[in-house]
Chain A
Amino acid sequence: MSRQRTQQLARILITLVAAIAIIPIVIVIVFLVINGLEVISWEFLTQPPRNGMTEGGIMPAIVGTILLTLGTAIAAIPLGVGAAIYLAEYAKDTRFTRAIRLAIVNLAGIPSIVYGLFGLGVFVLFLDMGTSIIAGSLTLGIMTLPVVISTSEEAILAVPQEFRLVSLSLGATRWQTIRNQIMPQALPGIITGVILGLGRAAGETAPILFTVAAFYLPEMPKSIFDQTMALPYHLYVIATQVPGMPLSVQYGTALVLLFLVLSLTLIASILRTIMRRRREW
């Protein structure tokens, strides 16, 4: 076969395969939307379940997911951004620093169920928090830590070196430079990364299985030591363990979860674009 023919054939095949990769994504989303939309109503979104999940809505699960996401933010952001500042601005290139980076990479790779085990062992049992929002948030927070650290560090390193030099040469201290020049300019990148990490946390089931999630709790949690419903867990249960649960309800729940997670991703992207445009340099 001539080279030109090979080129054409290759091009066609590659395009085809890429389509095979991409098209199912669209199919999945469209499928969910078509099948789930009918059940989405104001009642579905704002009412608690009644009659053993046969009536009412999934509001507690939505609220629970939001609460857990907030809890994750509180657990992961201070620690994660602090660690990022340390790595970007203070850490020297020593073996210990490399150990820290290795630890972060490994934390990122730990299966989510292992985080669930850890959360169960440490927060629920050892620290006696019981299955609770705080236990779940801490577990999700630790799981989200690597993402926050990585994206924050990238954002900080992306701030041009010139601003550091100017600030220092005008007599500012290292911390003054970080606080007044670096952090404000790195903030957009940090926020974007954090929101993406939170989006992932919101959709996770395994870490909350044994640390916080409950199935039928029509009342709102009253303290951080209470259990709560959560969308991912809810979906899991109604799909596999509740016989007779209408398909539309299942699809609707999946749709709500998908929507929540994807809107966080979307917000992150929009924020990134807005902040990049407002940048003066």
Chain B
Amino acid sequence: MATTEPAIPVELEASEPGRPASRSWSERIIEGLIKLCGISAVVIITLIFLFLIKEGVPAFREIRIAQMLTSRWYPIEGMYGIVPLLVGSLLVTVLAIIIAVPLGLVTAVYLGEFAPPWQREILKPLIEVLAGIPSIVLGFFGWLVLAPLIQSLGAPSGLTAFTGGIILAYMTLPTIISITEDALYAVPKEYRDGSLAIGATQWQTIWRVVIPAARSGIVIAVMLGLGRAFGETMLVLLVTGNAANIPELGLDIFFQPVRTMTATIASEMGEVAQGSLHYSVLFAIGIILFLITAAINSLATHLVGGGKRRRGSQI
């Protein structure tokens, strides 16, 4: 059959008889909707920020910043010093990171370099299970089991920054492990091979070649873990005690009860009148939380390389 009269017309210019005109219209609508979905993330985060500001700014207007930076958090008597809360968050988070990073790094190394395949098959799902445990359940475990344990070791109460730090560390562990694992895996095989070829042991290779090469990935893992630990609420609410005081300096600084910013919002918002000063201050704390985690995450993204994700120009 000759091609001089093909069934589908040859005219290059748009609009052809064989194809229903409505399809290009509905396609355009769909593509428009998709584009709307695409910008939704920016819209939502802007909305969140704006709303926090809207409800939280009154606090800054009524209370001078200097007043907020005091160390007495006693809303009933009109004292809104947030320093104890900041300190609480910091203490617990730092503790958690100190515990979780070495633990996570070593576990990632173990998984990537030492564990036989059968162990990897068991361990990786197990870590995913840990990642899936709701933080309230971990907090519950800490409240019922770990806190009494610590109390029996001599602390006046088991609900301390230390307790929070441990459980929080375990909550953060899966994040740190998986990102570190990816970073270690991304180190080119040639690095390892080259090191082993000149006679270095496996451990020497890991310590001197692989880990330094994965350095930036590890830093990102730590930062993301930091962000998660800092923002955790229910877990710390359950196990760090409920004392909005700055712990006394001393050897047992970690064994005193504290209160984090997140726990403060969670426990006090329920009893607060809408629009009251207390209400605004809690939102103001929310703003601070938002900004701090945004800073951590933006920095981490920047280190990764701007979050570009394209298939490359190869078609």
Direct contact of A and B (CB under 8 A): yes
Contact A6 B203 (CB under 8 A): yes
B55 nearest CB neighbor, chain A only:
A121
Contact A100 B41 (CB under 8 A): yes
Contact A210 B270 (CB under 8 A): yes
A178 nearest CB neighbor, chain B only:
B34
Given contacts A90-B31, A209-B266, A235-B137, contact A142 B37 (CB under 8 A): no
Contact B306 A118 (CB under 8 A): no
Q: Which residues of A contact B144 (CB under 8 A)?
A: 239, 247, 250
Contact A86 B232 (CB under 8 A): no
Segment touching B, from A7-15, A186-194, A220-228: A7-15
CB distance from A85 to the nearest CB of B (A): 5
CB distance from B53 to the nearest CB of A (A): 11
Q: Does A29 contact B (CB under 8 A)?
A: yes
Q: Does A182 contact B (CB under 8 A)?
A: no
Given contacts A15-B114, A98-B308, A121-B283, contact A113 B45 (CB under 8 A): no
Q: Which residues of B contact A33 (CB under 8 A)?
A: none
Q: Which residues of A contact B106 (CB under 8 A)?
A: 13-14, 17-18, 21
Given contacts A83-B37, A118-B52, contact A113 B107 (CB under 8 A): no
Contact A258 B203 (CB under 8 A): no
CB distance from A270 to the nearest CB of B (A): 12
Q: Does B256 contact A (CB under 8 A)?
A: no
From B104, B134, B283, contact of A257 by CB (8 A): B134
Contact A18 B111 (CB under 8 A): yes
Given contacts A107-B44, A111-B262, A199-B132, contact A22 B126 (CB under 8 A): yes
Contact B51 A118 (CB under 8 A): yes
* Total interface residues in chain A, CB < 8 Å: 94
Interface residues as binary, B157-200 with A (CB distance below 8 Å gives 1, 0 otherwise)? 00000000000001001000100000000000000000000001
A238 nearest CB neighbor, chain B only:
B140
CB distance from A254 to the nearest CB of B (A): 5
Given contacts A122-B51, A203-B137, contact A161 B203 (CB under 8 A): no
From A118, A175, A204, contact of B30 by CB (8 A): A175
Q: Does A31 contact B (CB under 8 A)?
A: yes
Q: Does A217 contact B (CB under 8 A)?
A: no
Q: Which residues of B contact A209 (CB under 8 A)?
A: 266, 269-270
* Alpha-carbon distance between A78 and B200 when the two chains are bound, in angstroms: 53
Contact B109 A14 (CB under 8 A): yes
CB distance from B64 to the nearest CB of A (A): 23
B201 nearest CB neighbor, chain A only:
A7
* Alpha-carbon distance between A257 and B30 when the two chains are bound, in angstroms: 39
From B40, B103, B109, B310, contact of A83 by CB (8 A): B40
* CB contact list, B286-301 vs A, under 8 A: 286, 289-290, 293-294, 296-298, 300-301
* Alpha-carbon distance between A197 and B233 when the two chains are bound, in angstroms: 19
Contact A17 B107 (CB under 8 A): yes
Contact B286 A113 (CB under 8 A): yes
Q: Does B70 contact A (CB under 8 A)?
A: no
**B27, B38, B141 pick with most chain A CB within 10 angstroms:** B38
Q: Does B311 contact A (CB under 8 A)?
A: yes
Q: Does B102 contact A (CB under 8 A)?
A: yes
Q: Which residues of B contact A17 (CB under 8 A)?
A: 102-103, 106-107, 110
From A31, A81, A203, A239, contact of B134 by CB (8 A): A203
* Alpha-carbon distance between A200 and B136 when the two chains are bound, in angstroms: 12
Q: Which residues of B contact A7 (CB under 8 A)?
A: 201-204
Contact B233 A205 (CB under 8 A): yes
A85 nearest CB neighbor, chain B only:
B34
Contact A100 B38 (CB under 8 A): yes
Contact B38 A83 (CB under 8 A): yes
From B110, B128, B289, contact of A265 by CB (8 A): B128
Q: Which residues of A contact B114 (CB under 8 A)?
A: 11, 14-15
| 28 A-B pairs whose Cβ atoms sit less than 8 Å apart in the complex | A3-B200, A6-B204, A17-B106, A18-B107, A21-B106, A21-B177, A25-B126, A32-B141, A81-B37, A82-B40, A83-B40, A86-B35, A90-B31, A93-B310, A102-B298, A105-B298, A106-B297, A110-B294, A111-B232, A111-B233, A114-B289, A117-B286, A121-B51, A145-B40, A153-B309, A209-B266, A258-B137, A269-B125
Q: A101-B307, A173-B27 are in contact. List 7 more A-B contacts (CB 8 A).
A: A6-B204, A15-B110, A80-B37, A111-B232, A111-B290, A117-B265, A206-B262
Which 5 A-B residue pairings sit nearest by Cβ, starting from the closest?
Answer: A203-B134, A82-B37, A111-B231, A86-B38, A18-B110
A residues in contact (CB < 8 Å) with B = 3-4, 6-7, 10-11, 13-15, 17-18, 20-22, 24-26, 28-29, 31-32, 78-83, 85-87, 90-91, 93, 98-118, 120-122, 125-126, 142, 145-146, 149, 153, 157, 161, 165, 173-176, 199-200, 202-206, 209-210, 232, 235-236, 239-240, 247, 250, 254, 257-258, 261-262, 265, 269
B residues in contact (CB < 8 Å) with A = 24, 27, 30-31, 33-42, 44-45, 47-48, 51-52, 54-55, 102-104, 106-107, 109-111, 114-115, 123, 125-130, 132-138, 140-141, 143-145, 170, 173, 177, 200-204, 206-207, 224, 227-228, 230-234, 237-238, 262, 265-266, 269-270, 274, 282-283, 286, 289-290, 293-294, 296-298, 300-301, 306-311, 315
